[in-house]
Every structure is written in structure tokens, then in C-alpha cells.
Homo-oligomer: A and B are copies of this chain.
Amino acid sequence: MMLLEEWIRKYGTVKDGDVLKVDSFLNHQMDVSLFDKMAKEWKRLFAGSEINKILTIEASGIGIACIAALEFGCPAVFAKKNKTRNIAGEVYSAKVKSFTHGTTYDVIVSRDFLGPDDKLLIIDDFLANGAALEGLLDIAAQAGAEVTGAGIAIEKVFQHGGDRIRSRGVRVESLARIKAFGPDGSIEFMH
């Protein structure tokens, strides 16, 4: 999606450790008019596919997921990063390893809000190593829900999470795919 690439080039900054900072429009300040165009692009890409629920993960996926849900005419559910006790039997739960922070955390979704009738579009801001997306796929599998596909804003292709998940047969539509960062902070996109 050219517009998102343009935004990344214009307002994104590359930090040490292949970190791309896009907090001026994507995950701290949120340009919802951009989110709206992203949602319309996913709607175009998944035209004809059955989707009755959006699934995402807190916190930075929520805004994009809600605008997408408005476009798809369905509710959104966000997986919570679990800070308290895990209420056995009441939630689906998966472990997610954060490569950025070197920590592992649990994500949970109430059993009330996902089930075998659901056809999910999973939405998230970033796909890098794929740990968060794999956690959401795990939760969808526990619920017996069908995953129609995943809509990602920015994929860091060189971190291979996307390849691994596509090889499992999951349709992943990333709106901007980054091949490499240059030593000068430049960004090379894959088309």
C-alpha cells in the first residue's frame, strides 16, 4: 500500500536493533484517517471472504482493529496481556515471547467471545518474528474458530515470522513489507 509506505518514509525513524519507530501515526499517536484507508485496503483484499469478527492484541493493535471492524461491519475482540491470575476454564490463553523486551507474557481471551462459529480476521500493527500472531492463532485454534486471514500494517520480512506463518497455510496480507534497513537509516520495501 503506497500511502502507508509514504507515511513510513516520511514520519518513521529507524533506531538501533532494527527498530522502526512509527509512534507519530501508528502506535502512540494514531492517524485514524490512515487507519480508515488501511481498513478499506484489507476489505478489498479479503473481498468475498467470510469474516464475522476481528481479533487483535493490546495495546497497539486495538485502534487499527476497531477501524477495521467498522469497515467489515463486525465486532472486534482484543487479547489481553495477562497481569493477574489465569482463571482456569474461563479463558483461552497463549504464551507470547517478546524478542524486543526479552520477556514472555500470557495473552488471554474470554471463552465467551470466541467459538467455532467465528471466522476471524486477525489484525496487528507489526509482524516481525511472528510471536504475537502465533499466540493469536493458538487462541483461535483453542476456540475452534476459523482464521480467514491476518491483516498486518508493517511486516519486517527479514525477521521471517511472516514466511513461517504463511507456510502453515495462513493468508497474511501486510500493507507495507520491509526488506531491509540501510546503515544510513533508509528503508527498502518489498513489492
CB within 8 Å of B: which residues of A?
23-25, 28-33, 35-36, 58-59, 62-63, 65-67, 69-70, 73, 75-78, 80, 84, 101, 109-110, 112-113
Shortest Cβ distance from A25 into B: residue: B75
Q: Are A75 and B32 in contact (CB under 8 A)?
A: yes
Q: Are B62 and A32 in contact (CB under 8 A)?
A: no
Q: Are A70 and B110 in contact (CB under 8 A)?
A: no
Residues in B whose Cβ lies below 8 Å from that of A59: 58-59, 62, 78, 80
Closest 4 CB pairs of A and B: A63-B66, A58-B59, A62-B62, A29-B113
**Cα–Cα distance between A65 and B31 once the two chains are bound (Å):** 12
**Cα–Cα distance between A76 and B62 once the two chains are bound (Å):** 12
Q: Are A24 and B66 in contact (CB under 8 A)?
A: no
